[in-house]
Amino acid sequence: MARPSLIHKWKTLYELAIQFKEKEYWEWMYDSDLFGVQNPRTGEIGYCCVMGNLGEHYALAVYPGAEGLATYIELANQDPDNPDPMILLSQKCLQVSFENREQLHKEDHEVIKKLGLKFRGANNWPLFRNYSPGYLPWFINEEEIDFLTALIPQAMDVCDRAAESLDVLKPPREAQMLVRVAEAKGKEWIWRDEWQTPALPAPEHIEAPIDQLRLHKILKTAQKIDATWEFDYFHFPEGVRDGSKERPYFPLMLIWADQRSSMILSHEISRPGEYRDLILNQFLKLIERSGAIPRQVWLQQDDARAILEPSAKTLGVELELTSDLEAIDDIFNHMLGFFGSRKSSGGFLH
């Protein structure tokens, strides 16, 4: 992390973070005051907000591109009276935050030591992290160092102007957002304001595999029963890692439960991004093992419904999209209670 070729880049980034902290932009900026800064090398927009107005977590958060912005919107739209305790695991962003000494990892302290920097006190230690869906926060790479180095001065420019009046963020047209964009002039970047309408990710097309031969065998051997099964997937509330140098991740739990008894019928664990390949096979294996085809399956994830729908139709199983999964909720809350009572080993990054 602190290899010699990066030390000069770390030096510049830490200097900018210190300048940002000294300004205390959270005194007048809220995390709902969103603006953009273009990555001058890739053209991607980083959607920025300043955190800390409530005096809890001081940071500049940067949500890259349409996918990052979508995770910000999902977080912002949470019901404050009933927040999803796992929502932070879905965030895609970079953060420059200001923490207590003990919240930094060994590698962070190594960089600070090599730069000859000293920090004291609470909420005063710069910390740079990448947040990716399903993974624990992790060290930023060289490309992200370069982006934050270009971005922070532009974020400061916007926040400085907002100190005079937050009207600087008021769009001339509905749904537009202030974005700082860069244009190359010789060896320099010339920055200007531009009002843009942010683009959100296009609806995802999900391929739904279907094995007609397997389904035909199931229809010949399994018996239809008057039962409702529930299915859901969610992040396991404790991080794991596959190797000492690998980034820790939160495995996904895929749970099938009987609605009447709340009994777990099947469960599997998946790495982030690999769970969709398991959903249909898990469903069919459960039917094959039990010899029973349920009348209904209740689930709340759109992608799971899309994956199961063709096979469920062939089997005569009704799919009900609902958030009212009492059996699954009982299992999930039991897991949260169990892991919430355990002490952290301190082996991963926070």
In the chain, the domains with their CATH numbers are: 4-196 (no CATH), 212-340 (3.30.420.10)
> Would you state the pLDDT for residue 3?
61
State the Rg of the chain over Cα.
Answer: 24
Locus of tokens 């169990």 = 338
3-state secondary structure of 173: coil
> With 70 as the cut, is the pLDDT of residue 339 above it?
no
Q: Does residue 90 contact residue 83 with C-beta atoms inside 8 Å?
A: no
115: its two tokens: 């730069």
Question: CA 185 to CA 308: how far, in whole Å?
Answer: 53
209: its two tokens: 């595999």
75: its two tokens: 């977080």
Q: Running DSSP on this structure, what letter comes out for residue 186?
A: T
**Model confidence band, residue 344 (pLDDT cutoffs 50, 70, 90):** very low
> With 70 as the cut, is the pLDDT of residue 274 above it?
yes
State mean pLDDT over 28-56.
97
The tens digit of pLDDT for each residue in 252-268 reads 999 999 999 999 999 99
> With 90 as the cut, is the pLDDT of residue 348 above it?
no
CA-wise closest residue to 283 among 210, 332, 220, 226? 210
Determine the length of the chain.
350
Q: How far is CA 82 from CA 78, 85, 86, 200, 337, in A?
A: 8, 9, 12, 25, 17
The tens digit of pLDDT for each residue in 297-319 reads 999 999 999 999 999 999 999 99
Q: Does residue 224 contact residue 295 with C-beta atoms inside 8 Å?
A: yes
- Count Cα atoms within 13 angstroms, Cβ side, for 10: 24
What average pLDDT is seen over the chain? 92
Kindly report the pTM of this predicted structure: 0.86
